[in-house]
Amino acid sequence: MRSLLVIAAIVVGGFLVIHVGKAVTAKDPPPGGHSGSTAVSLSTMQTYRTITVSPTAVTCGGYRRGAYPNRSKGAMGFPNGTCAVGNRVKGKDPIKITYNGMQGFVYVHAGWAMPNGNDVGTPWKPCSSTGQRAVRCTGPNGLPGYDQYMVRTFSPEAGMLTQITGNNVCDMNFRPAHGCYASRGNSQREGLYITGPSKIPGTDTAQSWTAWVIWTAEPQSIRHHPK
Amino acid sequence: MHLRALAGTLVPAMVLAGVLAAVPQPAQASVGVGIQAGPVRLPGVAHPGQSVALPPVSVVNAGTRPESIRVGVQRDPRGGGRPVPPSWVQPGVASVQLAPHHAIRISLQLTVPAGAKPGSYVGDLVATASGQLSVGHANLGAAAATLLEFRVAPDPAPGFWWSVFTQTLWALLIVLLLAAVVFAVRRSGIRVRVEREAVSYGAADEYGGEHA
């Protein structure tokens, strides 16, 4: 009987210790303590990774290609009409991308081109003449197919164009000598070439479209982090 | 004479040039965003079926205009670890309006489904400032990413086992207390006698029942 009571007491005691122990916390040290103190002011480098793009919107001009009668100098023609933001040959690169903060990479992708306002139109998806099948252009000779469009970036330092899709890819134009590697204060001027679809549905009435191109400041890969 | 004429021409031109230089030219609007450089890393491990708070992430509007900035998860384009399903991470706010060069911390909640595979998960936590839509143009946007890392343990949350342990302990305690009470009563010599008394049917007759 006595041993049974002892066991019960141990169990109850242990249970109380576990629960009451949770509520016990140490007191905060007194502010300032007993010793003298002095305020130290210091500056640190920027701990954000930022990217800025200017201007916020650009106009695509210099319309070319398409086939009669779907060809115009004032609008994108079909099939595969083109327009340009800037001029690679004349060295006009109206978009400025600036990277700041800890070193990383500059990636870029394009969004769907959407019809404006109440216009009826099927969105155009960005495609590439190379790369994964999911984003590959389905038109002849690697050109955009049905409801597809192509965005290519150029910069004064790069010898070739970079095709961009809906997936983030390294913007090889940002620092051609270092891939898309970027560190504090790096900037680049770039322009765009846009190629339209081979054809669009006959029911589409939209004559004005809005496209997105987004540059992303990316951290270094997990592989590059010493652990 | 020539000097006076030259001065009369040059001075106004120099004054005009000075004035033009002094007047600030309107800066081109820019869209910009920043995110903390350090990765968002869950201390410890998450367990399947558990919902835990991730450390908050800091974002800043680096552009020249007020921006609506939203935070979401994207696949790490460079690979490494299991990709983080975007639906697992919910920011405290869907989007936040920030004035130029203003920053804010956004809380994050990680919900790991019960059937989640254990291992190391890696993704990009991306803050996107898409700017104001300019109809009929090629709109330019900016985004900034930081790494999101956490580990999922193979077993359920420790809270589960703790609750099982606590309930078991309570049940054991009650049984022990009951047993102690029973033994104490027996040892004290107290006896409770329960007797059954036979009840005879037909008692109504004796107490004046009526008969037809």
**For residue range A72-101, what is the model confidence (pLDDT) as tens digits?**
888 888 899 999 999 888 888 999 999 999
With beta carbons under 8 A apart, name residues in chain B contacting A119.
none
The percentage of residues in chain B with a pLDDT greater than 70, rounded to a whole number, is 69
Q: What is the pLDDT of residue A118?
A: 78
Kindly report the pTM of this predicted structure.
Answer: 0.70
Q: Is the pLDDT of residue A11 over 50?
A: yes
pLDDT tens per residue across span A94-141: 999 999 998 899 999 999 988 887 778 889 999 998 877 778 999 989
Q: Per-residue pLDDT for A1 more than 60?
A: no
Residue that the structure tokens 């560190």 belong to:
A183
Integer angstrom CA distances of residue B158 from A211, B19, B153, B169, B170:
49, 72, 10, 16, 18
Residues A58, B31: C-beta atoms closer than 8 Å: no
A3 is a domain residue: no
Query: Per residue in A79-118, is it b (16+ CB within 10 Å) or e — as a string?
Result: bbbbbbbbebeeeebbbbbbbbbbebbbbbbbbbbbbeee
A120 within some domain = yes
B-chain CB neighbours of A15 within 8 Å are 169, 173
Q: Which of B128, B136, B146 sits opposite A49 (nearest CB)?
A: B146
Q: What is the mean pLDDT of residues A163-173?
A: 89
Q: Do B139 and A57 touch (CB under 8 A)?
A: yes
| pLDDT confidence of residue B159 | 61
- Establish if A166 touches chain B: CB-CB under 8 angstroms: no
Quote the radius of gyration of chain A (alpha carbons, Å).
Answer: 30
Domain residues for the domain of A173 are: 50-219
Which residue in B has a C-alpha nearest to residue A14's C-alpha?
B169
Q: Which of these, A14, A173, A8, A13, lies nearest to A95 by C-alpha position?
A: A173
* pLDDT band with cut points at 50, 70 and 90 for residue B206: very low
Q: List, for residues A169-227, the tens digit of each pLDDT value.
A: 889 889 877 778 999 999 999 999 999 999 888 788 888 888 889 999 999 864 443 33
Average pLDDT of the segment spanning B74-94? 85
- Does residue A79 have a cis peptide bond before it, meaning omega lies within 30 degrees of 0? yes
Determine, yes or no, domain membership for A180. yes
> Chain B neighbours among A 131-160 (CB < 8 Å)?
none
Give the chain B residue whose CA is nearest to the CA of A151.
B138
Mean pLDDT of B65-76: 90
- Does the pLDDT at position A69 exceed 70? yes
Residues A205 and A203: their CA atoms lie apart, in Å, by 6
Contact B144 A50 (CB under 8 A): yes
Q: Tell me if A190 is assigned to some domain.
A: yes
Residues in A 24-43 with any Cβ partner in B closer than 8 A: none
- In which region does residue B79 sit, left (phi positive, over 0), alpha (psi from -120 to 50) or beta (all else)? left
Between chain A and chain B, the number of residue pairs with CB atoms below 8 A apart is: 184
- Substitution target in A10, A16, A51, A215 with the highest count of B β-carbons within 10 Å is A51
Q: How many domains does chain A divide into?
A: 1
HSE-up (13 A, CA, CB side) for residue B210: 1
List, in order, residues 6 or more apart from B139 with CB less than 8 Å away.
A56, A57, A210, A211, A212, A213, B130, B131, B133
CB contact under 8 A, B176 and A222: no
- Top residue of A1, A10, A53 to mutate, by most chain B CBs within 10 Å, is A53
Q: Is the pLDDT of residue A166 over 80?
A: yes
What band does A22 get if pLDDT is binned at 50, 70 and 90? very low
From A52, A51, A49, select the one nearest A102 (Cα to Cα): A49
- Answer whether residue A154 is part of any domain: yes
What pLDDT does B189 receive? 74
- The predicted model gives B86-115 an average pLDDT of 94
Q: What is the ipTM of this complex?
A: 0.73
Give the CA distances from residue B149 to residues A19, A169, B54, B55, B125, in Å, rounded to whole numbers and listed in that order: 33, 21, 10, 11, 10
> Which residue in the set B134, B141, B149 is minimally distant from A214, CB to CB?
B141
Decide: helix, strand or coil at residue A190. strand
Give contacts of A47 with chain B, Cβ < 8 Å. Answer: 36-38
Q: Residue with structure tokens 């999101």?
A: B148
Q: Decide if B58 and A11 are in contact by the 8 Å CB cutoff.
A: no
Domain for residue A1, yes or no?
A: no
Structure confidence at residue A20 (pLDDT): 44
pLDDT at B52: 95
Confidence at residue B49, expressed as pLDDT on a 0 to 100 scale: 92
* Inter-chain touch B133–A210, beta carbons under 8 Å: yes
CB contact under 8 A, B36 and A48: yes
A44 domain-assigned: no
Residue A162 lies in a domain: yes
A54 vs B15, higher pLDDT: A54
What is the average pLDDT across B138-157?
Answer: 88
Q: Which of A57, A104, A214 shows the shortest C-beta gap to B142?
A: A214
* A218 touching B (Cβ < 8 Å): yes
Interchain proximity B140–A95, CB inside 8 Å: yes
Q: Is the pLDDT of residue B79 over 60?
A: yes
Mean pLDDT of B74-84: 77
Better pLDDT: A47 or B134: A47
